[in-house]
């Protein structure tokens, strides 16, 4: 059986930010599986079948991909950014649980440039000291846990990157998160709203916590909150590497 499965990251948008390893896997593949907007980024070619699906069925999508690989297909499951960051690699691992035959397949996770790192690079070096990444979507965890994690991270002065900050189905979450930040951090704390990084729609805005409003974020935005030492230097924002 020659089938294989790669779970690959397509980076934040710009083709130049796709790794050669991912390009090679795509060039070899017979099937590409993923959420509609990500699959749309793959150029159609003869011998390649594109399977675009809705975002809410990650486990089904992972199982379908594993089934195809088990049947001898060469399958790439695509995610934006990095496949291990709030994306398909964990969904495929979950689908492997209790499936010893699938566990013996040729499976590789191919990293990509995640949104927060692409955004940080555009801004300067806001993640130059300790930081954490928090998914603000409450699809897979309770809203109270998200707020508790933001409060705890801000309390020990982590810089933070927020993924999925705001969606039409839960417009109030991000407002509550701003409220938590305003309780814990000083009003001058720097925040970067980085939208559609490395695409033609890219928009990057640095504001203070006092100036931040909920409408600065949408589902194409990653939000970086600096730590208490994060500052501006010329056109850049950076966080010094030392905490003393």
206 interacts with ligand SAH by CB under 6 A: no
Q: Which helix (H) or strand (E) holds 209?
A: none
Query: How far, in Å, CA of 127 to CA of 87, rounded?
Result: 21
100: Cβ contacts below 8 Å, ≥ 6 apart = none
CB of 196 to ligand SAH, least distance (A): 5
Task: Report how far residue 110's alpha carbon sits from residue 21's, in angstroms, rounded to the nearest whole number.
Answer: 7
* C-alpha to C-alpha distance for 125 and 127, rounded to whole angstroms: 5
According to CB under 6 A, which one of 29, 216, 220, 224 is a site residue for ligand SAH? Answer: 220
The pair of three-digit structure tokens given for residue 189, joined into one six-digit string:
């704390």
Smallest gap, in angstroms, from Cβ of residue 190 to ligand SAH?
Answer: 17
The interface mask with ligand SAH, positions 15-54, x = CB under 6 A, is: ----------------------------------------
CA distance 183 to 176: 11
Q: Candidates 33-41, 73-81, 97-105, 230-238 — which segment interacts with ligand SAH by CB under 6 A?
A: 73-81
Q: Which conformational region is residue 216 in: left (phi greater than 0), alpha (psi within -120 to 50 degrees), or beta?
A: alpha
Q: Does 196 bind ligand SAH (CB under 6 A)?
A: yes
Structure-block tokens of residue 119? 């955004």
26, 68, 75, 82: which one contacts ligand SAH (CB under 6 A)? 82
Of 17, 18, 62, 81, the residue at the interface with ligand SAH (CB under 6 A) is 81
Position with the least CB separation from ligand SAH = 81
Q: Which is nearer to ligand SAH, 15 or 99 (CB)?
A: 15
Compare residues 40 and 104 and give the one whose CB is closer to ligand SAH: 40
* Cβ–Cβ under 8 Å, residues 244 and 130: no
Sign of CA dihedral 153, 170, 88, 45: negative
121 binds ligand SAH (CB under 6 A): no
Binding-site member from 65, 92, 146, 221 for ligand SAH (CB under 6 A): 221
What are residue 160's DSSP bridge partners?
Answer: 132, 225
**Which of 17, 65, 85, 178 touches ligand SAH by CB under 6 A?**
85
Instruction: Using CB under 6 A, list all residues that contact ligand SAH.
Output: 12-13, 79-82, 85-87, 114-115, 119, 163-165, 194-199, 219-222
């Amino acid at each position: 059986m020659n089938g294989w499965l790669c779970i690959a990251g397509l980076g934040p948008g710009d083709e130049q930010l796709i790794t050669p390893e991912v390009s090679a896997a795509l060039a070899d593949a017979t099937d590409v599986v993923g959420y509609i907007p990500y699959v749309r980024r793959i150029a159609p070619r003869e011998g390649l079948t594109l399977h675009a699906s809705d975002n809410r069925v990650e486990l089904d999508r992972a199982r379908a991909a594993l089934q195809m690989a088990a049947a001898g297909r060469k399958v790439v499951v695509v995610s934006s950014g990095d496949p291990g960051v709030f994306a398909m690699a964990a969904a495929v691992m979950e689908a492997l649980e209790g499936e010893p035959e699938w566990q013996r397949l040729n499976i590789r996770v191919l990293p990509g440039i995640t949104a927060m790192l692409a955004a940080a690079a555009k801004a300067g070096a806001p993640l130059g000291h300790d930081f954490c990444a928090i998914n603000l979507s409450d699809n897979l965890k309770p809203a109270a846990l998200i707020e508790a994690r933001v409060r705890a991270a801000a309390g020990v002065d982590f810089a933070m990157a927020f993924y999925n900050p705001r969606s039409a189905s839960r417009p109030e979450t991000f407002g509550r998160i701003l409220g938590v930040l305003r309780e814990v951090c000083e009003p001058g704390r720097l925040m970067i709203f980085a939208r559609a990084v490395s695409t033609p729609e890219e928009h990057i805005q640095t504001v203070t916590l006092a100036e931040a409003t909920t409408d600065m974020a949408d589902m194409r935005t990653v939000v970086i909150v600096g730590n208490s030492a994060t500052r501006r230097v010329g056109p850049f924002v950076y966080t010094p590497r030392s905490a003393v």
